[in-house]
Amino acid sequence: MDESLAVAADRNPSADTAALSGLKFSKGHGTGNDFVLVADPNGALALAPEQVAALCDRHRGIGGDGLIRAVPSRLLAEGQELLTRHPDAEWFMDYRNGDGSLSEMCGNGVRVFVHFLIAEGLVDLPAGESLTIGTRGGVKTIVRTASGYAVDMGPWEFIFPGEATARAMDSLVSASGLEVARPALSVSMGNPHTVVALAELAELEATQLFTAPHVDPTPPQGTNVEFVVPSEPLVHDGVGTITMRVHERGVGETQSCGTGACAAAVAIRHWAGQGAPDVWNVHVPGGVVGVKFFLGAEGHEHVELSGPAVIVASGTLS
């Protein structure tokens, strides 16, 4: 047996979470992108990567694409730095991937995080009002809407801007189910994404995401990979529509990815050229999210992500 497989086989998830007995948690999702959520108002909860992975285990844990800890920004070094410029960012979204690794942020997770803060009585946010939070991907502003939450995801940028501008591609992506490597465009939404356009839904369905696609060159921090099919027609009544599947770093295929939906819209809009719309509907296996482009106060183009957030259960670890 491979040594890494032997280690995984010997590991007992129950032992990894034994020290967390009595921990209160909730389970939530945004268009099927699901998370374990814990409140840590005193900053006293230290979570090891193996504990996060055990909690997110779908067979022997609670199950989730990731774990989100709600902690006051002042109690984290990253949060303290943000507070110097954004003193209203009281809460910090400490996000971990399902394998326990740290991640910059998660677009669906931001909405679920704010919904969790409200449910726990940690913030009061009536419909129409906004809340500022801290993440490792910077400060995010969230507005509560009648049907969910809209998040200012901040500015987007190309990871390899020279290639993106000159060639409209910067890498090649190979995946099981696709006969040849496909050209792709890498976009940062505070975390890295590589977007591949496919011709038809049958191709999208045939793409196998059990293992991570191969990206050449890979962005320095690794990358999430989105496979996208533009609708025909692409634009209807001024709104663009695309369908997407995603393989997330440290997780695998997920039902939805908020930052990935934003990156996919960025790439398809870039490829569509002048006249492409600023408003998009992105269909993912878990539902539909909205993406809108607008000019930020500092003069850079921002992306807004909108969609639902649901808390499905709460409990206490035994």
Active site residues: 106, 257
- In degrees, rounded to 5, the angle at the alpha carbon of residue 269 between the alpha carbons of residues 152 and 203 is 110
The phi and psi torsions of 144 (rounded to 5 degrees) equal: -80, 125
Closest CA to 97 of 259, 213, 232, 216: 259
Residues 6+ apart with CB under 8 A from 46: none
Tokens of 268: 């398809």
Tokens of 98: 């399902």
Helices (H) and strands (E) in the chain, counts: 8, 19
Q: How far apart are CA 190 and CA 136, in angstroms?
A: 8
Strands 239-248 and 224-236: antiparallel
The CB-side HSE value for 40 (13 A sphere, CA atoms) comes to 22
Strands 192-197 and 239-248: unpaired
Closest CA to 225 of 199, 193, 252: 193
Q: How far apart are CA 310 and CA 109, in angstroms?
A: 11
Residues 6+ apart with CB under 8 A from 161: none
Tokens of 123: 């913030």
SS3 of residue 224 by DSSP: strand
